[in-house]
C-alpha cells in the first residue's frame, strides 16, 4: 500500500480518480490542537454503542458523540444517534473550518480512539442523511494514526496517510461512492486520538 502524501508538513491535494481529497497537516497550531484535545477529552459526553455484524452484536471499538445545530439524528451501521447540542468550543472550530473550506456544516461526529485496539473498519460516509456527494471535514487530534483509502473497483488504487495532530482532511466530490476508508487496529501501544468529522445532515 502506497503512502499517499509526502512526509514534509505541506498542504497536499493528490490526483485520484472518482473523488477529491485535500490534506492540510497544520490546519491548527500545536498549541491550539493541544488545548482542543484536552478540553474535548475531558468534557465530551462520550458514549459506547453496539453494532450488529452478520447477526452478532459487538461493542463498537471506539467511543462516539454526535453534536448538531438542530435536532437531526444520524444513522449508520444500524445505529441511530441523537445529537447533543453544539458547544461553544465545537461552534468555534466549525466556523474556522467553514471559513477555510468554503463549505457549510451543521453537525459533527466525534470519535475517541482510546488505544491501538480501537478502530474504524472499511466504510464510506454515504448515508442518505448526507446527500448525494457529501463533503466531510475531518480534524485529527492526539496520537497520529494511519488512514487507509481503497477504490471499490480499481484494485491498484490503495493508499494510506498518517493523520497529524491538528490536521484537516477534506473528502469531497464523488469520493464516498467510489472509495472506502478505515482507521485500522494496531498492536503498537498508542495514546488516545480524537477525530472530529464535520458534515451537513440533510
The model carries a pTM of 0.91
Q: How confident is the model at residue 1 (pLDDT cuts 50, 70, 90)?
A: low
Class of CATH domain 14-46+60-199: mainly beta
Helix H or strand E encompassing 34? helix 30-43
Residues 6 or more apart whose Cβ sits within 8 Å of residue 38: none
Q: Kindly tell me if the per-residue pLDDT of 7 is higher than 90.
A: no
Q: What's residue 202's pLDDT?
A: 86
**Is 184 exposed, middle or buried (CB count within 10 Å of its CB: 0-12, 13-18, 19+)?**
middle
pLDDT at 142 over 70: yes
pLDDT class of 4 with cuts at 50, 70, 90? low
The 10s digit of each residue's pLDDT in 88-138 is: 999 999 999 999 999 999 999 999 999 999 999 999 988 888 889 999 999
Beta-sheet strands, E only, within 42-166: 50-53, 56-59, 63-68, 74-76, 79-81, 84-85, 107-113, 120-123, 136-142, 145-151, 158-163
Per-residue pLDDT, 73: 86
How many separate helices (H) and strands (E) can be counted in the chain? 3, 16
Residue 53 banded pLDDT, cuts 50, 70, 90: low
| Residue in 75, 80, 115, 110 with CA at minimum distance from that of residue 94 | 110
> Across residues 15-38, what is the average pLDDT?
96
What distance in Å separates the CA atoms of residue 113 and residue 60, rounded to the nearest whole number? Answer: 11
Amino acid at each position: 500500500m502506497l503512502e499517499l502524501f509526502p512526509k514534509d508538513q505541506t498542504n497536499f491535494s493528490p490526483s485520484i480518480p472518482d473523488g477529491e481529497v485535500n490534506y492540510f497537516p497544520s490546519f491548527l497550531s500545536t498549541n491550539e490542537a493541544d488545548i482542543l484535545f484536552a478540553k474535548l477529552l475531558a468534557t465530551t459526553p462520550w458514549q459506547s454503542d453496539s453494532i450488529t455484524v452478520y447477526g452478532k452484536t459487538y461493542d463498537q471499538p471506539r467511543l462516539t458523540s454526535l453534536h448538531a445545530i438542530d435536532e437531526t439524528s444520524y444513522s449508520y451501521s444500524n445505529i441511530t444517534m441523537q445529537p447533543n447540542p453544539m458547544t461553544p468550543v465545537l461552534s468555534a472550530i466549525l466556523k474556522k473550518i467553514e471559513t477555510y473550506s468554503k463549505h457549510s456544516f451543521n453537525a459533527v461526529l466525534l470519535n475517541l480512539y482510546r488505544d491501538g485496539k480501537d478502530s474504524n473498519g472499511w466504510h464510506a460516509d454515504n448515508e442518505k442523511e448526507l446527500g448525494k456527494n457529501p463533503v466531510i471535514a475531518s480534524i485529527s487530534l492526539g496520537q497520529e494514526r494511519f488512514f487507509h483509502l481503497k477504490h471499490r473497483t480499481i484494485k491498484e488504487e490503495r493508499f494510506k496517510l498518517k493523520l497529524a495532530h491538528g490536521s484537516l482532511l477534506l473528502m469531497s466530490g464523488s469520493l464516498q461512492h467510489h472509495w472506502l476508508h478505515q482507521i485500522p487496529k494496531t498492536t503498537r501501544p498508542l495514546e488516545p486520538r480524537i477525530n472530529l468529522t464535520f458534515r451537513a445532515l440533510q
